[in-house]
Structures are given as structure tokens and as C-alpha cells.
Amino acid sequence: MKKIINSKIITPYRIITGHDLIYDGQILAIDLDSGSCDEVIDAKGCYVSPGFIDRHTHGGWGYDFSCADADQIVEGTRECAKTGVTAVVPTIEFAVHPTKQDWAVVEAIECAADKNSKGSEILGIHIEGAFVSSVENHQKIHVQEMIPILDRMKKGLVWTVDPQAEGMSDFVTELSQRGLYASIGHSEFCTQENFMKCVEHGACQVTHIYSSTNGYYRENGFRYPGIQELSLMTKEVFVEVLMNNHHISPELFRFIYHCKGSAGIVLATDCHPRKNKYTSGAEKFETIWNEPLHRTSWWGSPGMDDVVRAAYHAGIPLCEAVKMATLTPARALGVHAKKGSIAPGKDADLVIFDENVQIQQVIVKGNTLL
């Protein structure tokens, strides 16, 4: 049995002081006097938060989740853990007609999930590709062709989909029936009808709102809501936000927060593995290791600590900022019974950080990683 003393414990509703946090592999209690324990961590007045959950990251710090090397993926999760992430959903591109390389990547992530004891727990795979930007690619989704892929992919958890693709609502139904999650995104143009049809069939999330998601459009003189407006209007839909003060401004973030509240916003990094310069067309961007970047932040390695800090500095109460990186993504991924908050019976996934969200220690299922 272990305990953390001299801390400020963050719950989704308040900050608790003067109590010890007792745990082993799971949270055991929050108590005034816990007595003796095998291991004692003195937080020295820092905050104790549930571990952050990143449902959208391609790697970072030079490690690529799209490589077919399980050891490299494990090392990538170790770097994620240094930013307070205790559970992660590696994000990859995947073809409608997958190649041997596509399957090699999937199998490497599955292998990493089974052998990983060094870093963030791998919850599943986020497929971001193949089903996006249908207006440009003129794709049609045939559900029967996708069933063997779904059967084979053991860890496929989140699929970013374009509602405009023909047959997409049927595919969303298939995902929902399997307990998987369809997330609307990467649509150059989506009508109100197709958005709502996918939501009615089970889509419950939007991938990085205000990036590759269209706003209102005109039809026969009328203006209709696009993905951005519809996702903010629809209470049941979670919106993913890449909040790093360089992708979405604090003012826009406060607007999203006003519409959705902390229960509807999932903070994420969309982190990419590069830590060197990247050239796109005539523009050159400097990628800074573990620092929030400009509009192309997803080409660098911003951590979840950066994202939570940016939300907090945007004027969001700390409990609420933490909730958007913990309990809300846990609910969006269906793992909230075990993760996302500090409560007896839940996994002891914990982060200790200071007043400026600088990570001091990271604990995954009771094991101290940092």
C-alpha cells in the first residue's frame, strides 16, 4: 500500500487539501489519517491529478506510432508519460484496402500494448485516414468490405470519418454495434443532413474542431450550420480541441467552453513525431521539442501538460481544465469506470504537478514512472 501526502487532490468538482491519497494498483481511499504505508510520496504542496488521457497523438519526440516496431512505440509511450499522459490512443493512417505495411503497424501497436510496462497505457488505436475528405477522394464505403478489417483489428477504438462519404452512416452503425467510436472530422464540406444522420447512427465525437471541419454553408439562399456549429449545438457530441495557444486562440477556446462546458470538450495534442524542421510548400516551420507551436503545431511534440496549461492560462478553472484532459476523454472512450478521476476502485493513474502544470511525478496503475 502506498500514499501521497501534502498534496492538493483534484477531483472533477473541487480541490481537496489536508488528506492523504492511498493507493496500490487502484485508488483505495482519500483519508485524513491513513496510518503507515509501504511507500510514501511527499507532494510538497503540489497538485495530484488523474492521469491525462490523449486520444489523438501520432507519436512525438522522434518516436512514430506509425512505425512497425513495437519497441519504438513503447519508447514513444514513455515520452508521452513524461508529459502526464497515463493512457494514450496512438493515431495512424490506414487504407480502405490495407497494405502489408498497414497491418504491420497495427500489429506493432497491439504488441506494444501487451508488453508495455514503461510508459502510458495503450487503450486502442485511432484510425485517422481512409475515410476522410470524401469530396476530394470521391470515396464510397462498402460496409461488407470493412467487416473483415474490423474483425482482424483487435485494438481499433476510434475511427475518424467523413459524413459526406457515401455509405458512411452504415459504417458508423457497424462501429457502434461493435462498441467502437466514430468521430466526425476531416470533411472539406459536410451538410447538416449528413452530420445528423451519422450522429443518429452513433457518431458521438468530432476530431479537432475548427481544423478540417467546415462551418456554415449556403444552399438556395439559406445559411445552414456545418460541422462546427452542429457539434457545438449537439449536447451528446464530444468535441476534440487542440488547445496550445497557437492552434486555437484563448478567445475561441473560451467560446467553445461556453458552448460545451468541460463535460463536452476533449483536450488532445495531435502530436507528430518530428523534432526537426519541416518544409511545406514555400513555408518553413521550426519544430520545437516539447513546446507548443504555431498553426502547424501538429508537426511538433507538444505535450498534454502544455495543452492543460494553455487551457488553464486561457482562464478556465484548473478543475475544469484537468477534467477536459481526464474524465471527459475517459467518457468519450468508454473507460470512465476505471479511469479519468480519483475515486476508490479506479486505476491509480496519477500525475503530480506544480502551480504552472510542470510535471513532477507520473504514476500508472500504481507504478511510479517519473
Question: What is the per-residue DSSP string for 253-298?
Answer: HHHHHHHH-TTTEEE---B-S--S-EEETTEEE---TTS--STTGG
- Residue at grid coordinates 483489428: 153
Mean pLDDT by 10 residues, the chain (370 residues): 96 95 96 84 97 94 91 94 96 88 95 90 90 60 89 91 90 95 90 96 95 90 94 97 81 96 96 57 42 41 90 96 98 97 98 97 94
Residues 6+ away with beta carbon under 8 Å from 193: none
* Chain segment 316-352, per-residue pLDDT in tens: 999 999 999 999 999 999 999 999 999 999 999 999 9
pTM comes to: 0.91
* Chain segment 84-141, per-residue pLDDT in tens: 999 999 999 888 888 999 999 999 999 999 988 889 999 999 998 766 655 555 567 8
Grid coordinates given for 155: 485494438
Alpha-carbon distance 155 to 113, whole Å? Answer: 9
Taking CA 234 as the corner, what is the angle to CA 230 and CA 235, rounded to the nearest 5 degrees? 155
Inter-residue contact 97 to 131 (CB < 8 Å): no
